[in-house]
Chain A
């Protein structure tokens, strides 16, 4: 087969980069429809608004690679946001932030205990926690919205609203956390164990890996990321509804899967998750620019996600439909 592109070459490329290629096609489409789409300020805007989702997706990446799910991150993020806003006025931001992190980590530890040590099904545990934490938040706030009294006089706004070196702080936090967690996952013994536990938990146990401890730590990491996301959210708006994170759990999961992590565990990377987050962000932004109604976006976003995942699977198995998976 002379010449660069044989059919199998293209097939191989598609199989490896199916999602990226789909992404490029969407981008070209949006750019043709609206030339502002790729303008620097628009791009920056998308990245910035994706930061909260992105921070949460980093933690969920660990959980998914370890072979579990975390559907509680949305309501946990609402919890963090409400708690830190409430404590801000009561004990001051310097104490409110660590207190909020501690409380959120407790929730993560609880889930990690149930899934890791008691070996309960993660879908059921985190689905239950989604609801339970929502109830906890409402109880805490008494159902009222939470607002900081003196919105102009607090340095708390720095995490969500200011910029450093010309880059918005939420993007900096997202980038820094992604770099650190990316290294943890790819380079440390713990990261290796996460892949082993998700890839084959039995074999991991037979290799002397303490599976429960690994799963527990993944949920703790996830809770840490959620707390960080809650901090950015609270700082950006300085006031919030009880339901600010509602539905984010599915978007986060979509971003992680879109990036190419397997729901069965054992595969995925932080880089892929970032790609997934950006794809989601750009698609939603593109649809807005094209002039689609906000409500219709929910529908179109999901159609596009399913389309992209289907293309990805189809490319991997070499045909669009298959009698066996």
Chain B
């Protein structure tokens, strides 16, 4: 329990919450409290019980024992709607908005103001909505169709929805996952505003900078157990990590100390409509080249072009000295280019399929004995990468969807390593992955380079690019602004380059 003695009453208090599923004790006596006007971070590795706890708070799961207390009143919630009425509001990572409806309709869905005969009172609806939108200082109007808004603005709609009710506690689940830096700033202002209105905030995120920037206290879960609450001002990244994973993390840079090989991939003046223009770079065998830039800078689109998912409008791709044409993923795979895509769940894995079948998918046609897929050959491949990548799963029969994010990513990486590619492109290698697995994946990427793979890493996280890359390509708005070696790069120069401020030395006009 919290040691702190405070005069005011917690906005939300959890007391010894226990929730078990057949065979798993998902939550084992979790207790902490959130004061009004406090931003309280909830941290823990994937599988630590954060999601289950949120489902308990949101009325989706019922706790086996323990109490949820909202402003001194113990509450029981049997549905998400009830949770909302009790003053607990969620801002989900995956937005749950009706895209075809207006902002106003989304905000008041289920509670639209009525006129006679049950008709909607549009004027009242738009007026009420605009009042809230003004408070959030957003640049769109109540009548805007939600589908026309950016992800960040859609998130604002969710927040606006939270404000229509007397929210006691607002829970943000990885809210910045798909936001640009400018959008984050706006989000943080809104969180400040909520704070000043005395709302208690639970903030779930894996991103340390944000945690240190905006939270007041940090509670940590591990294996379903409450591990303690830290005052943000008096703690360090290492303290939190240690509490989360029970060991120290290696956060040093891994510049390569091995000899680089021949140029494996060379891209010359590649363009694709308005997505990116005049892109040229080289990747040697044994080298990691990091692509850093804001969301929408064109990095993913370049990767998709190299993997045959987009057709370039100009320029050429040279693989081991040969100019190649890549018009489909099949071509790319045959040429030895592999892509670990940005979105693991939608592009990387068939979640309902078992781990082994996912891993062998690109080469299943070659793993045959007679007309049938050879069980033995498949298991041999799985076992090899299971050991090599230290994948944690009870067996290959486990559905990929049941694995944690880090292990899912390892399945995808194993899938492509088993194809023995010449060039491995990894797009956002650790998105949504907890810190422990993150450093394992970084180490893995370095290991691959030292084994002679040419690796391209695309990332929106600066520490990540800095840690894994030998060279860093900074992109802004579809163009390469600057290239850095790992010795010369500094955080400041990198930020300048990706904001379009850096000197674009010789690269683009």
Please report A residues at the B interface, Cβ cutoff 8 Å: 8, 12, 183, 187-189, 192-193, 195-196, 199-200, 202-210, 266-267, 323-324
Known contacts A12-B22, A188-B371, A324-B60, A207 near B415 by CB under 8 Å: yes
- How many chain B residues have a CB neighbour from A under 8 Å? 32
On whether the beta carbons of A266 and B329 are closer than 8 Å, the reply is no
Known contacts A195-B353, A200-B349, A266-B352, A209 near B361 by CB under 8 Å: yes
Please report B residues at the A interface, Cβ cutoff 8 Å: 22, 60, 79-80, 307, 309, 328-330, 332-333, 339, 341, 346-353, 357, 361-362, 364-365, 367-368, 371-373, 415
Report Cα–Cα, A205/B341, bound state, in Å: 11
Chain A nearest CB, measured from B88 CB (Å): 16
Report Cα–Cα, A195/B400, bound state, in Å: 14
On whether the beta carbons of A208 and B341 are closer than 8 Å, the reply is no
Most buried by B among A193, A206, A266: A206
Most buried by A among B330, B349, B350, B365: B350
Q: Which residue of B lies closest to A8 (CB)?
A: B22
On whether the beta carbons of A188 and B329 are closer than 8 Å, the reply is no
On whether the beta carbons of A192 and B357 are closer than 8 Å, the reply is yes
Known contacts A188-B371, A192-B357, A208 near B362 by CB under 8 Å: yes
Report Cα–Cα, A204/B415, bound state, in Å: 12
Residues of B within 8 A of A195 (CB): 350, 353, 357
On whether the beta carbons of A188 and B373 are closer than 8 Å, the reply is yes
Report Cα–Cα, A192/B60, bound state, in Å: 35
Count of A-B contacts judged by CB separation below 8 Å: 75
On whether the beta carbons of B347 and A202 are closer than 8 Å, the reply is yes
Chain A nearest CB, measured from B429 CB (Å): 15
On whether the beta carbons of B330 and A208 are closer than 8 Å, the reply is yes
Report Cα–Cα, A180/B330, bound state, in Å: 29
Residues of A within 8 A of B357 (CB): 192, 195-196
On whether the beta carbons of B372 and A199 are closer than 8 Å, the reply is no
On whether the beta carbons of A192 and B330 are closer than 8 Å, the reply is no
Chain A nearest CB, measured from B372 CB (Å): 4
Q: Which of B80, B361, B372 contacts A207 (CB 8 A)?
A: B361
On whether the beta carbons of B373 and A202 are closer than 8 Å, the reply is no
The 7 closest A-B CB pairs, nearest first, are A199-B350, A187-B372, A208-B333, A207-B361, A189-B365, A200-B350, A189-B364
Chain B nearest CB, measured from A192 CB (Å): 5
Residues of A within 8 A of B60 (CB): 324
Report Cα–Cα, A195/B351, bound state, in Å: 11
Q: Which residue of B lies closest to A184 (CB)?
A: B371
Known: A188-B371, A195-B357, A206-B341. 6 other contacts (CB 8 A): A187-B373, A192-B364, A205-B329, A207-B415, A266-B353, A323-B80
Chain A nearest CB, measured from B60 CB (Å): 7
Chain A nearest CB, measured from B100 CB (Å): 18
Report Cα–Cα, A207/B412, bound state, in Å: 10
Q: Which residue of B lies closest to A187 (CB)?
A: B372
Report Cα–Cα, A112/B367, bound state, in Å: 27
Report Cα–Cα, A202/B373, bound state, in Å: 23
Report Cα–Cα, A209/B332, bound state, in Å: 12
Residues of B within 8 A of A12 (CB): 22
Chain B nearest CB, measured from A320 CB (Å): 15
Known contacts A187-B372, A187-B373, A207 near B362 by CB under 8 Å: yes
Residues of B within 8 A of A209 (CB): 361-362
Chain A nearest CB, measured from B52 CB (Å): 15
On whether the beta carbons of B349 and A193 are closer than 8 Å, the reply is no
Chain A nearest CB, measured from B86 CB (Å): 16
